[in-house]
Amino acid sequence: MGKIFTGFWGVMAFLVSFASFAASDPKPEQYQLNLRSGVTDISQQVYDLHMTIFWICVVIAIIVFGAMLWATIFHRKSRGVKPATFHESVKVEIAWTVVPFIILIGMAIPATKTLIAMEDVSAPDVSVIVTGSQWKWHYKYMDNEVEYYSVMATQPEQIANKLEKNINYLLEVDRPLVIPTNQKVRFLITSDDVIHSWWVPDFAVKKDANPGFINEAWARVEKPGIYRGQCAELCGKDHGFMPVVVIAKEPAEYAAWIEEQEELQRKAKEEEQKLLAMNMDMDELMTVGERVYNTTCAACHMPNGEGLPGVFPALKGSDIALNDMQKHIDVVVNGVSGTAMQAYAKQLSMKELAAVITYERNAWGNDTGELVQAKDVNAVLNGQ
């Protein structure tokens, strides 16, 4: 039965091809086979550790499989060999207990050093609070008045195979996190609902976002650039659609960006106040509302407003969306505790809230004809 070797060599060939590709320069391209060495000192250490252990494993595999192969060729019954009778040796048993143990100590020492360096979150230059929620990330800069949500930017038509997929399919967001290069950036990671995991492979940072607890991680990025990752912990229906994008800028550029953002957010707040005195018409509300609905609400309540029976309630024909307007505003603004319904007051502007509630009360045959204005939302927000 020479066939046994075919399978064996197949496996060996896999291993060898793995090994030879593993050594080549990693790029995020179609046939990337190996970890990325990344753009931080830590990610480089992690990569080196990975390669060291990989080669140790390859050597062990070659020795073990080599011995097996030798036995299957030369110690086969069809060659007319007589089986030996030995069946134990304390010396050999001790040898192959002690030698692996020593190899393990050799692996553990560099691993321990790297781990301790990774977990040293002291003395950060910049701190960002990263909050996961179903299915977006929120970034808040601790030393500046800047905070925003970061949502996947890939169009639903691309996911539904109606449009051609672009190069960063599923790995693009509307507003990436921006951090300075060559500074120690600390990430304070938490969650508003289920457990998520914030992962940027190029930083070798993957930390779970646990609701009610704060985890810490850090990165000192050496090269300016755009770095992409994804949520790594199953967090519900759209777990696969929750990318992380980080842009690292030179410190001066970063400072300018932060200033610009602070200014923008200040202006937005002023706009908001002005808006309270204004009334928007149906067309404007419906246009804005549809856009907001599709980016923010459709993931659960579905684009047709029918929800997912037994999982997410329908809005089409629902009692709240047709009748009790105050309750409707309250649910959208404050969320419903103990359910997946989030509080959107901090995610959307008052104009957007007003528009989306109007949209929900007038779309898919929910023809109440009622308008909700920013001041109505403001009233609920202030508990009136």
Partner 1 sequence: MSTVTNDIHHDEHHDHHDHKPSGIKRWLYTTNHKDIGTLYLWFAFIMFLIGGAMAMVIRAELFQPGLQIVDPNFFNQMTTVHGLIMVFGAVMPAFTGLANWMVPLMIGAPDMALPRMNNWSFWILPFAFLILLMSLFMEGGGPAFGWTFYAPLSTTYSNDTTALFVFSVHIMGASSIMGAINVIVTILNMRAPGMTFMKMPLFVWTWLITAFLLIAVMPVLAGAVTMVLTDKFFGTSFFDAAGGGDPVMFQHIFWFFGHPEVYIMILPAFGIVSQIVPTFSRKKLFGYSSMVYATASIALLSFIVWAHHMFTTGMPVGAELFFMFATMLISVPTGVKVFNWVATMWRGAISFEIPMMFSLAFIVLFTIGGLSGLMLAITPVDFQYHDTYFVVAHFHYVLVTGAVFSIMAATYYWLPKWTGKMFDITLAKWHFWCSLISVNLLFFPMHFVGLAGMPRRIPDYALQFADFNKWISLGGFAFGLSQLIFLALLIKACRKKGEPVSAQVWDGAEGLEWEVPSPAPYHTFETPPVVK
Binding to partner 1, residues 56-115 (CB under 8 A): 57, 60-61, 64-65, 67-68, 71-72, 75-78, 81-89, 92-93, 96-97, 100-101, 104, 107-108, 111-112, 114-115
Omega into 198 within 30° of 0, i.e. cis? no
Closest CA relative to residue 248, chosen from 68, 38, 58, 97: 38
Q: Is 161 in the site for partner 1 (CB under 8 A)?
A: yes
Q: Identify residues 190-209 at the interface with partner 1 (CB under 8 A).
A: 193-195, 197, 199, 201, 204-208
SS (H, E, C) 136-199: EEEEEECCCCCEEEECECCCHHHHCCCCCCCCCCCCCECCCEEEECCCEEEEEEEECCCCEEEE
Beta strands in 202-322 (DSSP E): 205-209, 215-220, 225-230, 243-249
- Give 3's Cβ-side CA count (13 Å radius): 1
83: tokens are: 């089986």
Choose which of 146, 219, 221, 235 interacts with partner 1 (CB under 8 A): 235
Q: Identify residues 306-325 at the interface with partner 1 (CB under 8 A).
A: 308-311
Q: Is 33 in the site for partner 1 (CB under 8 A)?
A: yes
Q: Is 168 in the site for partner 1 (CB under 8 A)?
A: yes
Interface region with partner 1, contact rule CB under 8 A, candidates 55-63, 266-274, 326-334, 375-383: 55-63
Q: Is 331 in the site for partner 1 (CB under 8 A)?
A: no
Nearer to partner 1, 86 or 277 (CB): 86
Closest separation between CB of residue 57 and partner 1, Å?
4
Closest separation between CB of residue 141 and partner 1, Å?
21
Q: Is 256 in the site for partner 1 (CB under 8 A)?
A: no
Choose which of 44, 125, 129, 236 interacts with partner 1 (CB under 8 A): 236
Residues binding partner 1: number (CB under 8 A): 113
Neighbours of 133 (CB within 10 A): 22
Choose which of 160, 252, 369, 384 interacts with partner 1 (CB under 8 A): 160
Q: Is 90 helix (H, G, I), strand (E, B) or coil?
A: helix
118: tokens are: 């990774």
Measured CA to CA, the distance from residue 205 to residue 185 in angstroms comes to 12
Choose which of 41, 238, 272, 306 interacts with partner 1 (CB under 8 A): 238
